[in-house]
Amino acid sequence: MSSTGLDGLRRIWSLAVDGLAAMGTLMIGILMLIICADIVARNAMGASLPLVSELGALLLVMIVALQLATTIRAGRMARTELVSIPLEQRSPRLAALLQAVFQVCGAGLLGAIAWASVRVLMKDYDSDEFIGTPGLGTLPTWPFRALILIGFAFAAVECALAAMRGLFVAAGGAR
């Protein structure tokens, strides 16, 4: 594949990852509106709105899944800087190798989560699983599960890409 073609794939991948993160940010806004509306309803009517707790739980997991790939790509995952920063200063190649091992483990774990999510998505879709109370308000769960699956799959791929970059640096390539 030519350098131009590879650059095009990188741009498309970046747009997709950033698009998922933007969708997660939008979901944060929606979650805030739902919570505020529920607070107003509780104070005005003395009762909670339907779907708020169930929808909040699904949205929270979905937000994390959708924004995880961008977090990994930006190198913003939590880490112990007590070890990593001095190691990067003393031996950048060893630090890159250690980071690559961490990313391979992350790719495996996130891939396993994505794979397990496939079964949950299929079960929810096949059984018409929904949240809420019939007559008051219901929503199907499968669209949420699908976005969670997509988010974790993208995060697993992003970890694999970060591992490859780390291995390249550890082998003596430039950063």
Predicted pLDDT of residue 137 = 85
- pTM listed for this prediction: 0.91
Alpha-carbon gap, residue 161 to 94, rounded angstroms: 18
120 burial type by CB count under 10 A (0-12 exposed, 13-18 middle, 19+ buried): middle
Predicted pLDDT of residue 135 = 85
Predicted pLDDT of residue 1 = 66
pLDDT at 139 over 90: yes
Q: Give pLDDT tens digits for 88-136.
A: 999 999 999 999 999 999 999 999 999 999 999 999 999 999 998 888 8
Predicted pLDDT of residue 4 = 83
How do the domains of the chain map onto residue ranges? Answer: 3-170
pLDDT at 22 over 90: yes
- Distances in Å between the Cα of 40 and the Cα atoms of 28, 56, 132 are 18, 16, 20
Out of 27-31, 81-85, 100-104, pick the least confident: 81-85
Out of 77-81, 116-120, 133-137, 162-166, pick the least confident: 77-81
Predicted pLDDT of residue 171 = 94
Which of 52-66, 79-93, 123-137 shows the highest mean pLDDT?
52-66
pLDDT at 43 over 80: yes
Predicted pLDDT of residue 175 = 62
Find the angle CA(11)-CA(15)-CA(21) to the nearest 5 degrees: 145
Per-residue exposure over 16-30, b if at least 16 CB sit within 10 Å of its own CB, e if not: ebeebbebbeebeee
